[in-house]
């Protein structure tokens, strides 16, 4: 029988609704495993719980504790590790673990979450968890992944951890960069996406979360803050074609201020083929264009550099 480790960290998948609020509930850890075994049969699960939070309260200390827990258990005889997590910040943890563990993990490390608590009939938590188990059993893959069943789709999808995009507003669906997930789980078997293309993957296994990264998303009439003195890097997320308001005097002044403080500026969301006039100013403004990647992965990468 396949032996798996489930790492519980809280989130909606580990919460219950009481007194008008959704709150973490340690009893839900047992509930998830009970529901799985009732529906899918006996399974060999160990469990761990390095912390319990609603994922919107996730901190660097939580991420470091989770990394230590996963690294310790990767040295044990498990066929895979499943991490239950909140959906709000699922992408951040997935990207972080993919960057620091993805190239070293000898077995799949799969993050799962839920759109509603497990006791709610609308919840996809059990479906996400079951697909993660099936992926581990049938894929033969290694690395860090996310298993999530969008309500608009027939099957659960498997994503590379660093590929997952930020959520759309008011939408719990999970999507990969360029809408090319790693694969799907159909009728208990993993089917790899033939169109999926592996990207160059840097090794951040020797890196720790350090310093502070200022993350700004482009919008019309954007106000720009004073740059804090302890900022080590600035990440700019451009408009959909990778543009920024470079004709704005305020924006140009912001970039010059960063340069004067020797704080590097990085742009995410830009790619070849959209050569607008506004992009010609990037070099003079000191803006370094990152390769195509999820903005969340770009943020976590800079936090680790």
| pLDDT digits 0-9 by tens, 62-97 | 999 999 999 999 999 999 999 999 999 999 999 999
Based on the domain organization, do 112 and 174 belong to the same domain? yes
What are the residues facing 236 on neighbouring strands? 216, 267
For residue 166, is it within any domain?
Answer: yes
The domain tally of the chain equals 2
CA 34/CA 125 separation, integer angstroms: 13
Local confidence band at 14 (pLDDT 50, 70, 90 cut-offs): confident
Based on the domain organization, do 25 and 162 belong to the same domain? yes
Contact by Cβ (8 Å): 5, 48:
yes
**Domain hosting residue 276, numbered range:** 212-304
Domain end position, chosen among 192, 224, 245? 192
Contacts of 178 (CB under 8 A, 6+ apart): 292
- Give me the pLDDT at residue 299, please: 98
Domain end position, chosen among 159, 192, 225? 192
Which helix (H) or strand (E) segment holds residue 97: the answer is helix 90-101
pTM of full prediction above 0.75: yes
Based on the domain organization, do 77 and 47 belong to the same domain? yes
- Give me the pLDDT at residue 186, please: 97
Residue 18 predicted with pLDDT over 80? no
């Amino acid at each position: 029988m396949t032996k798996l480790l489930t790492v519980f960290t809280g989130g909606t998948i580990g919460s219950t609704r009481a007194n008008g609020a959704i709150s973490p509930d340690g009893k839900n850890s047992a509930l998830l495993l009970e529901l799985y075994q009732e529906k899918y049969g006996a399974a060999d699960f160990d469990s761990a719980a390095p912390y319990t939070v609603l994922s919107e309260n996730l901190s660097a200390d939580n991420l470091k504790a989770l990394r230590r827990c996963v690294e310790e258990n990767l040295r044990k005889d498990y066929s895979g590790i499943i991490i239950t997590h909140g959906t709000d910040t699922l992408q951040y943890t997935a990207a972080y673990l993919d960057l620091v563990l993805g190239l070293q993990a000898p077995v799949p490390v799969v993050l799962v979450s839920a759109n509603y608590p497990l006791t709610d009939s609308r919840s996809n938590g059990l479906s996400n968890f079951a697909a993660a188990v099936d992926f581990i059993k049938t894929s033969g893959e290694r690395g860090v992944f996310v298993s999530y069943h969008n309500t608009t789709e027939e099957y659960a999808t498997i994503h590379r951890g660093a590929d997952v995009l930020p959520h759309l507003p008011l939408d719990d669906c999970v999507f990969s960069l360029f809408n090319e997930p790693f694969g799907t789980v159909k009728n208990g078997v993993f089917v790899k996406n033939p169109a999926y293309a592996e990207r160059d993957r840097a090794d951040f296994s020797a890196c720790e979360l350090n310093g502070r990264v200022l993350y700004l998303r482009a919008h019309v009439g954007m106000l720009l803050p004073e740059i804090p003195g302890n900022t080590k890097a600035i990440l700019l997320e451009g408009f959909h074609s990778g543009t920024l308001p470079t004709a704005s005097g305020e924006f140009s002044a912001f970039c010059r201020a960063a340069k004067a403080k020797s704080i590097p500026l990085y742009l995410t969301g830009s790619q070849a083929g959209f050569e607008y006039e506004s992009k010609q100013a990037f070099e003079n403004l000191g803006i370094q264009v990152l390769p195509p990647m999820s903005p969340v992965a770009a943020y976590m990468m800079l936090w680790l550099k």
